Each structure stands twice: as structure tokens, then as C-alpha cells.
Amino acid sequence: MVPGAIFSHSDSPSSPTDIDRMRKVPYREAIGSLMYTSITTRPDISFAVSTLSQFLDNPGDAHWIGVKCIFHYLAGMRDVEPTYGAECHDLVSYMDADGAMQEHRHAISGNAFLIDGGAIFWSSRKQELVTLSTAEAEYVAAMHTAKEALWLRKLIHKLFPSLIAMTPLYCDNQAAIKLIEDDNYHARTKHIDI
């Protein structure tokens, strides 16, 4: 997607003529193909695809242009492929949240797990609750990432018992890191359920 592009339901057509014209556009088929691609081989497009899939019921021209941008990106990156073994690391995790920038006010959180520099698991999804700050959204994303890390560690330990050391979780929000490391009472987070 174009950096800084914001898609909303206001971009959807409202006149019957525009709605009929957009029904002839293969928007659903394109999103389905992109979803398959993001799940199987291209985790880098997961956020863009999940954002544009929110408009399947009534896509507009702006949404269709966003889908075409993803296809152009994939065409330009056709010779790039994930490689494993370029680095020598155990399981490493990265997580982030967008801080409720969507019009529905739910943050989109994502994570990726890598072994030897290659992605083995990734996800991008809308959080269930509306958070009050970006630190809180990152905190919730870190919790979901930690749950996935526990499951992946158990699986990898059964396959390769000598491979697993500690799993670092990388986060780019200092306030969320402080909340994770410090288990003291915080007035700003007392509403977050265990």
C-alpha cells in the first residue's frame, strides 16, 4: 500500500450506478488470491490485504487502486524469495500494533517469528478490544505474540530439542516494554483484564 494511505467506508460508492460498476470489478477474487499468497509465501503483504479485505461488501475505486498497488508490488518483487540459513539464530519474534488508526478504532496487531532469518509464522489481525493508547495496543499485541511463542517453542522443542534457547520478543514501544517488564500496579492499565 502507499505509505500513509487510509482506506475507509467513505471511499465506498453510494450511488446505484457506481455500485453496479464496482460489482463488475473482480475485487473479491483479487483479495482471495492475495490472501492465499500472504498465507503461503508472502507475509509482507498481510497487513495490506487484511486492511483491504474489510471492504469486500462494497469496495470503491480507492480500494481497487489499493489492490492493484499490491499486485504491482508483487510483480516488482517476483525475483525476491525468503531464504533460510543466511543467519544463525534460534526462534526470534517481532511484534507491532498500529495504535487504532483504523476508522473502527480497533488496533491491528501483527507478529512474525523467524528462525535463521526466515519467517516460519506470521499473523496480522484486528484486536478484539478498543485500546486507549498505543502503549496499551502494543501491550495487547505482545500478549498475543507471547502466547504464539509458547506454542511454537513447544512444537520446535519436540522436533529439534537442542535448537531452543530463550526467545526474544522485539517491540518498538518503550511504554509497552516498561509495562511488560514492570509488574507493579498502574492506574492507566487497571481496566485491562488478565
**Domain range annotation of the chain:** 9-76, 92-189
For range 71-76, the mean pLDDT: 94
pLDDT band of 58, cuts 50, 70, 90: very high
pLDDT of residue 183: 65
> In the structure, what pLDDT confidence band is assigned to residue 186 with cuts at 50, 70 and 90?
low
pTM, whole model, 2 decimals? 0.61
- pLDDT score of 139: 82
Question: Burial code of 139-152, b = ≥16 C-beta within 10 A, e = fewer?
Answer: bbbbebbeebbeeb
pLDDT at position 84: 62
Q: What band does 34 get if pLDDT is binned at 50, 70 and 90?
A: very high
Burial 2-32 (b: 16+ CB within 10 A, else e): eeeeebeeebbbeeeeeeeebeeeebeebbe
Mean pLDDT across the chain, nearest whole number? 82
Retrieve residue 20's grid coordinates.
453496479
- The H or E element that residue 112 is part of is strand 108-115
**Rounded Cα gap, residues 107 and 140, in angstroms:** 10
Instruction: Give pLDDT, residue 51.
Output: 87
3-class SS of residue 122: strand
CA distance 167 to 151: 12
pLDDT-derived band at 102 (thresholds 50, 70, 90) equals: low
Nearest CA-CA partner of 50 in 110, 119, 131: 110
